[in-house]
Amino acid sequence: MAYAKETYRAELLAAARQLGERCLYSAAKWAAELLVGVEPDAAPVQSAAMDTPSSSSATSAGRLLHLHRSGGSSFRHRPRPGGGISSEAGTPLGGVSYVSTPIPDDDAFDSGGDKYLLAKTYFDCREYRRAAHVLQKQVGRKAVFLRCYALYMAGEKRKEAEMIELEGSLGKSNAVNQELVALEKELSTHRRTGSIDSFGLYLYGIVLRDKGCEDLARTILVESVNSYPWNWSAWSELQSLCTSSDILNNLNLKNNWMKDFFLASAYLELKMHEEALKRYERLMGVFRCSGYIQAQIATVQYSMRDLDEAEMKFEDLLRTDPFRVDSMDIYSNLLYAKESLTALSFLAHRVFLTDKYRPESCCIIANYYSLKGQHEKSVLYFQRALKLNRKYLSAWTLMGHEYVELKNTPAAIDAYRRAVDINPRDFRAWYGLGQIYEMMGMPFYALHYFRKSSYLQPNDARLWIAMAQCYESDPLQMIEEAIKCYERAANSNDTEGIALHRLAKLHGMLGQSEEAAFYYKKDLERMEVEERQGQNFVEALLFLAKHYKSIGRFEEAEHYCTRLLDYTGPEKETAKNMLQGIKRSQSGFPSMDTDHFAL
Amino acid sequence: MSLFAGVSGGAADAASGVGTGRALLELTPHKMAVCQLVQVFAPPAQAGGDVVPPFPFESLAHHNRLGLFLFTLTRSCEDFLEPPLEEFLRQLKAVDNLANGWFCEQLTSSLSALNSPDDLFNFFDKLRGVLTAPEGASAEDVFLDPNSQLGVFLRCCILAFNSMTFEGVCHLLADLVMYCNSTDASYDLAEDEDFNSEMGNLMDADIGSQVGIFDKFHQGYASERHMGESSSALTRAPTSTYYFDDANIFKADDNPTCLRSRWQLEAYLNQQADILEKDPGSVPLNSFNATMTQLQTLAPELHRVQFLQYLNALCHDDYVASLDNLHRYFDYSAGMQGLFGRSVSQVQDIVVGKYESALLCLGNLHCYFGHPKKALEAFAEAVRVSQMNNDDSCLAYVLGAISNLLSKIGISNTVGIISSPYSLGTNIGLGTPLSIQQQLLVLLKRSLKRADALKLASLLSFDHLSLAKFDLKHVQRPLVSFGPNASTKLRTCPADVIKNLRLGSLVLTDFGADVLSTSNDNGSFSTSWLRNLSAASDSWRRSSKNTKKLHINDFDDFHYHAQPSPVPAPILQLAGSAYLLRATAWEHYGSAPMVRMNALVYATCFADAASSSELSLAYVKLIQQLAVFKGYSAAFCALKLAEKKFPSSTSLHIQLLGMQILHERALHRGHLKVAQQICDEFGVLSSSVSGVDIELKTEFSVRRARTLLAAKQFSQAAAVASSLFSTCYKYNMQVENASILLLLAEIHKKSDNAVLALPCALASQSFCKSFNLDLLEASATLTLAELWLALGSSHAKKALSLVYQSLPMILGHGGLELRARAHIILAKCHLSDPKFSVLEDPEAVLDPLNQATEDLQALEYHEMAAEAYYLKAMAYNHLGKLDEREEAAARFKDHVTALENPQNEEDSLAY
């Protein structure tokens, strides 16, 4: 049985409702966005739009809803995966079979329905403690969850306030969410007695993460997403806990289609761009109108330096969703890289009007100012972005770049270092640190940072070239190490062709003309393909001509000399002289340098 | 009368740490408790405030005791967190035991009486009264000097409160409630509505009973009253020296985690750094890191913590972690200013806060891990950057560090090591590249000049010491010599050594100009005072438990009469190393008493400031002397004691020493397998990289040659020794060559090849002469005498004169073995001299032989003992004394069998 689009729709619809019901707003938002993103089948099913999942004809027995209710919330007993009756194996995209998960039903209120309603309205008005208070003594799972969640939010709100209140002369004091201990106690009890639903597990997971028990948090979140896969917040929390591909591969996840979203996003984070792109494109087959997937694909393409494609995607996205702020910081980075000032200013204006107090908006404006060359203002906006979100990684790195422009090295180093401490895998910040120290005339010190960055991004030629330049800098003069680095760079798709030229030069300096000729030749070929000409081209020709002449391969030498004649400058004269010399020695006459007679 | 007016110097220090626009310190419940006590100590003047001492105090002594307690509270740096109330009360009780806990009651009651923000306002209002002199007060009235340590503290607290937002006040109140509740249930009254009246009753009762208490106090201390002066009365503090096993026992979970003041934090970090240097083995890597991480989460902008983490990783040989932490520390702090209003330390610390210092540290790190090339690159860059930034003092330090590195590594190929043109002129006049030694000398001189000009006393002293070290080992040759007849006399210059050593210890007197002198009061005195105080208060409960605790270092041992040392620890350390170096110098020049004396001076006078490695070195020297002069059993006894102090797993010196002595003993006993085994262990200890651990490698080769010699494998031994000779020659280690030549002579001598041995011995002798190695020269002379003897009895006269020539030196300074050897040779000379008759002068032979056998007994040196007994038996035979002859012969047999059939070889591995 095909995993029909209607099934997706039904699941997402229920999920959005259930998540919204529990005040998990961003997850509900995500589900709803995706729901709209499903392109309806050609022949619209009559009841597809608004019905409860039970009426969907495509649903399996597992999702039928003749369920008994016990206590407050009502989860069906889940059949074992592979139990056969209800775990239907649909034929999803790409031929992988998904395990479907039954949608739990809890739309109706239990006895405390009125109070729940009141609590939810309080919650909606951000009066968290009041919401929690109303739900005291309610035992239904939904009520318990909302109460705990409200407490958690109250604690977070207080924590944010305290972080500013308690900031001492030695930096932030460790304001913690005061509710964590009590929440953990309660939730773990619920988990032990089995009276916890997947939403409770999600909450338990983030409580554990905040307490620093990352391993347990991961386990709990996996439990949560396995029992209720449509909670995107749980997935993204899980993803933030997967800092390496090993951890990611060792997760014991059920093969729901939501897993694809998770994996794609995790791959993107772990810089496994191809895998991410593959998954997103497959998902695009179903959720054809999803802005989220489009934005993610554009992000991947931007990361893979496929700027034009990515720009088209972003433009598209903005056309359909003009008030979007998510992912727009990436778009602004892209526009920055392409130096399209107008588009960037347009974007900045738009997000500014939409919501100026979003870190992304500040970042976009900062990018705009940076492109304009007004680095002070740019720094100001980056600082604002960081005030809004202290862990905003790319803002730290970009602010570091701005400080570099402002020649404020200590501040730049500080900014980069903070980025690195937030995420030690951010190779850009390591690279930035290296660059600053190199600029300060400390190439040996800088090597440490370049080493770090090239370790994280071993296939990036720019990093290897930077390292090589350190090695060959005047004070260090470690030519052999530089050659090794340039070789790495040349092997990893060096688009600017610096590596080949430098390799040839360095080998020439060391007197290894055989190797030098090899690299000059390669460089020449590259320049021919790219139809670039210039000083390097002439230099390569001259060296090759001289080299072949000296080892007695006159035909090649002649070839290069003739090509040199196309250029003006002193090289032309040299080439002429060499040609004459070659002819003489070929014709058997004793070689005589015409220069002697020239005077 | 103003109290503690003289101690404001420290307060000025504290004030210099002010951040930009931030409060000087953050108010915490603990600080409020101290404020409350200050109020008790110096109550706001009231009408008739001329009562001395003020109300609750019985005597001036009692009064001052509390003052001292409060003073130390603001200075101590035992931990980075402030103690919870319970702990604080316990400390207070030690001061308070006279007044029967009145202070504690008073403190807890007044703190828990603070129930609303308004109470806090009133509290600080009242505090202000402490500082202001009442109207019409005369100079004689008691009030707190606002510039004293306590006065400044109080003012800081008031200022902090005044600049506090309402949120801050609320937090303070919440913390205070938590603080009071953390003690125990009986004080948990903050939310009790009846609290005030109840507490009031309690206080009334207390005050009512005070008369009785003070009566008791009178009786108990009447005998001491005649001491009169307050300071001597203060010495009533118990002199017992117990301290806590674990200061963290009393940390309750629900206690608010409050950091101490910035000054205290930095003092704490400095103290931890000292501990890391002094005894890295006592600091477990992970738990220390955990502590530091905790501190870092509490104070993320206190970047010194990362430096300590770097030090910790360094001490535990964790290359990657130390590198990471080093870079992180300097990334954050080198710019000296931050992004979000980070406070700036205005103390211009020499090592902290500049990029060139980062390179200096990086170089030292590579040096420590044995990467000389990388270290040199880092140093070269440091030179460049400090020249660029006009940082002369850093440049001087870098030069010092480079010379330290150069003296540590014996890199033979000098070309390309310091390739950068910045470091040195690569040629002088004659166009020849400088050797490593010459570079070192030039660097040292340059560094010395800079240090002198910049008045960096400690660096100056360091450079003098390095020069002394250099002069000790390295041969001077005339800088310019022309023509074939120019004298190319090579010699070392002891006068230079001693001159530099003297100049090096001058640091003790003129350290005033250096940065180091400013950090004189580092809070450790206050810390140990406080520690002892609380320990003493516990002593009734725990005295039995603590008696068995050994004090590891004198420094931990709080002598009550001790003042904080006026000399800062780094200065002491430098001055101490001068003594250690003196001991080494005398070791070379061959004066045993001087070695002992200097090592003893070091071990007794400078142990407080010494790092564990240097202190262990002094111990090693002393034990080596013991082994040479008193035999092995005495040495092993001492070694066991030393191992208790420095576990051999942490101290390489001690470990090496144990192996050295074991090897010697095994050789003497004839346990060759054991000797071989220990020798192999030596070989494993050194690094496989060439140019690193030269000294260890040299020692390994020497011991190997000697083991082979003892096993009578002469050709192999000779091969090892000559290859060692060429290595030492390559690395320009002339002084070592003198002893290697002697060893070579010994090998040839043992293989009955006197003709080959003679040139070696002569060469060794002349080396010794020019390098002033007196004792070694005597030993070489002795070998020469033996060789002459071996060439035939006709040379006995000559040999005898040589022996006589060396005897004064040997008898004065030589060890047991050398003395015995001299005696035996003396007897041999006499016996082989055809003109000498035993019958005429039996004492001339028997006396030295008796002496020799006695000395050799302690050494368990079978081979030589056998020789002595053999000679003795021969002599007795000539004299016709058969009984004595038989006895000597029997002993001879004993030794020979012991040598040939070694038994219980395993014993030789144990001591």
Question: What is the residue-wise DSSP string for B30-56?
Answer: HHHHHHHHHHHHSPPP-TTTT-SS-TT
Token pair 């039954």 is at which residue?
Answer: A102
Q: How many CB pairs under 8 A join A and B?
A: 97
* pLDDT grade for B315, boundaries at 50, 70 and 90: confident
How confident is the model over B398-436, as pLDDT tens digits? 888 887 787 776 544 443 444 333 333 333 333 334 566
Quick check: is B192 in a domain? no
Cβ pair A161, B171 in contact under 8 A? no
Structural domain boundaries enclosing A20: 1-37+115-162+176-247
- pLDDT at position B567, please? 66
CA angle centred on B546, ends B542 and B552, rounded to 5°? 150
- A44: in domain: no
What is the average per-residue pLDDT within B238-267? 52
Residue A202: pLDDT band by 50, 70, 90 thresholds?
very high
Tell me the pLDDT band of A365, cut-offs 50, 70 and 90. very high
Question: Which CATH number covers residue A191?
Answer: 1.25.40.10
Instruction: Check CB contact of A382 with chain B, cutoff 8 Å.
Output: no
Say what percent of chain B tops pLDDT 70.
Answer: 70
Residue B51, Ramachandran bin (φ over 0: left; ψ between -120 and 50: alpha; else beta): beta
Position A598 scores a pLDDT of 42
Q: How far is A442 from chain B (nearest CA, A)?
A: 6
Give the total number of structural domains in chain B: 3
ipTM score here?
0.76
Question: Is residue B168 domain-shared with residue B292, that is, in the same domain?
Answer: no
Indicate the range of A478-482, B76-80, B747-751, B861-865 predicted with least confidence.
B76-80
In chain B, residues with a C-beta closer than 8 Å to the C-beta of A392 are: none
Q: According to the model, what pLDDT value does residue B98 have?
A: 61
Residue A144 resides in a domain: yes
- pLDDT for B54: 61
- Reported as half-sphere exposure (CB side, CA atoms, 13 A), residue B142 has a value of 20
Q: Lowest-pLDDT range, A277-281, B26-30, B122-126? A: B26-30
pLDDT, tens digit, for every residue of B508-544?
A: 666 554 444 444 455 666 666 666 665 555 544 444 3
Percent residues over pLDDT 90 in chain B: 4
B162 occurs within a structural domain: yes
pLDDT score at A204:
93
Span of A134-143, A307-316, B451-460, B600-609 with lowest mean pLDDT: B451-460
Residues of B in contact with A449 (CB under 8 A): 327
Q: Please give the structure tokens belonging to residue B900.
A: 């040939």
Per-residue confidence (pLDDT) for residue B797, from 0 to 100: 85
Cα distances from B569 to residues A60, B269, B460, B532, B779, in angstroms, run: 80, 15, 16, 22, 41
Q: Is the pLDDT of residue A48 over 80?
A: no
Q: Give the DSSP letter string of B428-461.
A: -SS-PBPPHHHHHHHHHHHHHHHHHHHT-HHHHH
Q: What is the pLDDT of residue A3?
A: 66
Quick check: A414 and B262 CB within 8 A? no
pLDDT of residue A128: 93
- Report the percent of chain A where pLDDT is more than 90: 32
User: According to the model, what pLDDT value does residue B316 have?
Assistant: 84
Taking the model in full, what pTM does it have?
0.72
Cα of B367 to nearest chain A Cα, Å: 15
Res. A30: pLDDT tops 80: yes
pLDDT in tens, B357-401: 888 889 889 888 878 788 888 888 888 888 887 777 777 788 888
Q: How far is B400 from chain A (nearest CA, A)?
A: 20
Consecutive H or E run containing A89: strand A89-90
Average pLDDT, chain A: 82
Q: How confident is the model at residue A92 (pLDDT cuts 50, 70, 90)?
A: very low
Give residue A220's pLDDT. 92
CA of A83: how far to CAs of A54, A62, A79, in Å? Answer: 21, 11, 6
Which pLDDT belongs to residue B2?
36
B355, B362, B383: best mutation site toward chain A, by most A Cβ within 10 Å? B355
* Residues B691/B412, Cβ–Cβ less than 8 Å: yes
Chain A residues in contact with B81 (beta carbon < 8 A): none
Chain A, nearest residue to B339 by Cα: A411
- Is B234 in contact with B68 (CB distance < 8 Å)? yes
If you average pLDDT over residues A492-510, what whole number do you get?
A: 83
**Per-residue pLDDT at A150:** 94
> What are B433's strand-pairing partners?
B427
- Give yes or no for A391 touching B (CB within 8 A): no
Give the separation between CA A422 and CA A410, rounded to whole angstroms.
18
- Residue A562, in any domain of the structure: yes
B131/A547: higher pLDDT? A547
Whether residue B422 and residue A169 make contact (CB cut-off 8 A), yes or no, is no
The CATH number of whichever domain residue B403 belongs to comes to 1.25.40.10
| Top mean-pLDDT range of A408-417, B249-258, B691-700 | A408-417
Q: What is the pLDDT of residue B845?
A: 83
Contact A441 B385 (CB under 8 A): yes
- CB within 8 Å: B358 and A445: yes
Q: What is the nearest CA distance from A376 to chain B, expressed in angstroms?
A: 13
Chain A hits for B323, Cβ within 8 Å = 448
Nearest CB among B302, B334, B362 relative to A170 is that of B302
Residue A166 contacts B, CB cutoff 8 Å: yes
Of A220, A247, A274, which residue constitutes the final position of a domain? A247
Here the tokens at position B257 are 């985690």
Using the predicted structure, report yes or no on whether residue B19 has a pLDDT greater than 80. Answer: no
For B317-345, write each residue's pLDDT tens digit.
Answer: 889 999 998 888 888 876 553 333 333 33
User: If you average pLDDT over each of A58-62, A367-371, A509-513, B240-244, which comes out highest?
Assistant: A367-371
* Contact criterion met (CB < 8 Å) for B299 and A409: no
The DSSP call for residue A511 is T
Q: Is residue A311 part of a domain?
A: no
Please give the structure tokens belonging to residue B15: 């004030």
User: Would you list the DSSP string of A306-323?
Assistant: -HHHHHHHHHHHHHH-TT
Distance in angstroms between the alpha carbons of the first and the last residue of chain B: 65
- In a domain, residue B735? The reply is no
Average pLDDT over residues B94-121: 79
* Partner-chain residue, chosen from B171, B300, B332, that has the shortest CB–CB distance to A165: B171
Whether B18 shows a pLDDT value over 80: the answer reads no
Domain ranges, residue B903: 785-910
CB neighbourhood size of B262 (10 A): 22
A346, A313 Cβ separation under 8 angstroms: no
Cβ contact, residue pair A174, B334, below 8 Å: no
Residue A47: the pLDDT is 40
* Closest Cα in chain B, distance from residue A406 (Å): 14
Task: Tell me which long-range contacts B568-571 makes (C-beta under 8 A, separation of at least 24).
Answer: B568/B511, B568/B516, B568/B517, B568/B519, B568/B520, B569/B274, B569/B608, B569/B609, B570/B458, B570/B516, B570/B609, B571/B457, B571/B458, B571/B507, B571/B508, B571/B511, B571/B514, B571/B516, B571/B517
Note whether B302 contacts A417, CB cutoff 8 Å.
Answer: no
**Is the CB of B259 less than 8 angstroms away from the CB of A170?**
yes
Let me know if residue B866 belongs to a domain: yes
CB burial of residue B394 (10 Å; 0-12, 13-18, 19+) = buried
Is the CB of residue A234 less than 8 Å away from at least one CB of chain B? no
What's the mean pLDDT in B732-742? Answer: 83
The mean-pLDDT minimum among A458-472, B266-280, B298-312 falls in B266-280
Asked if residue B173 belongs to a domain, the reply is yes
Q: How far apart are CA A524 and CA A387, in angstroms?
A: 51
Whether residue A162 lies within 8 A of chain B, CB to CB, comes out as yes
Q: What is the pLDDT of residues A135-183, one digit of tens each?
A: 888 888 888 999 999 999 999 998 888 877 766 655 555 677 888 889 9
Cα separation of A5 and A40, whole Å? Answer: 7
Task: Please tell me which of the candidates B331, B342, B343 has its beta carbon nearest to residue A433.
Answer: B331
Q: pLDDT at position A448, please?
A: 93
Give the pLDDT confidence score for residue B44 in this predicted structure: 66
Is residue A275, in this structure, part of any structural domain at all? no
With an 8 Å Cβ cutoff, the interface of chain B facing chain A consists of 19, 22-23, 26, 165, 167-168, 171, 257, 259, 262, 265, 297-302, 323, 327-328, 331-332, 334-339, 342-343, 355, 358-359, 362, 377-378, 380-381, 384-385, 388, 419-420, 422
Task: Answer yes or no: do B172 and B286 share one domain.
Answer: no
Per-residue pLDDT tens digits for B55-70: 667 677 777 778 888 8
Cβ pair B335:A413 closer than 8 A: yes
Please indicate, yes or no, if residue A474 is contained in any of the structural domains: no
On chain B, the residues whose CB falls within 8 A of the CB of A417 are: 328, 331-332
Could you give the CA distance from residue B156 to residue B149 in angstroms, rounded to a whole number? 11
Mutation for B interface: A445, A455, A480, most B CBs within 10 A: A445
Q: Is B708 inside any structural domain?
A: no
**Considering CB atoms only, which of B331, B381, B420 is closest to A413?**
B331
Domain tally for chain A?
2
- For tokens 């990515």, the residue is A310
The tokens describing B532, both together, are 């002892």
* Mean pLDDT score, B39-63: 66
Tell me, yes or no, whether B167 and B285 share the same domain.
no
Which of A437, A443, A448 lies closest to B323 in CB terms?
A448
Determine contact: A111 vs chain B, CB below 8 A. no
Overall average pLDDT of the B664-682 stretch:
87
Tell which of A247, A278, A304 closes a domain: A247
C-beta separation of A102 from A76 below 8 A = yes
Where do the H-state alpha helices sit in B303-435? Answer: 304-315, 319-333, 355-368, 372-388, 392-408
Cβ–Cβ gap B265/A162 under 8 Å: no
The lowest-confidence range among A70-79, A409-418, B254-263 is A70-79
pLDDT, one tens digit per residue, over A107-130 is: 555 566 888 999 999 999 999 999
Residue A22 lies in a domain: yes
How near does any CA of chain B get to the CA of A138, in Å?
29
Q: Do B301 and A170 touch (CB under 8 A)?
A: yes
Helical spans, DSSP H, in B590-651:
592-605, 612-630, 632-645
At B656 the pLDDT is 87
Residues sharing a CB contact under 8 Å with residue B631, sequence separation 6 or more, in sequence order: B816, B857, B858, B859, B860
**pLDDT for B255:** 56
Identify whether B424 is part of a domain: no
Three-state DSSP state, B467: helix
- Cβ-Cβ contacts under 8 Å, B299 against chain A: 168, 170-171
Are B336 and A410 an interchain contact pair (Cβ–Cβ within 8 Å)?
yes
Average pLDDT, chain B: 72
Instruction: Determine the Cα–Cα distance for residues B7 and B148; give it in Å rounded to an integer.
Output: 6
pLDDT the model gives residue A105: 63
In a domain, B819, yes or no: yes
CATH number of the domain where residue B851 is located: 1.25.40
pLDDT in tens, B864-908: 888 899 988 988 888 888 888 888 899 888 888 888 877 776 676
pLDDT of the residue at B342: 32
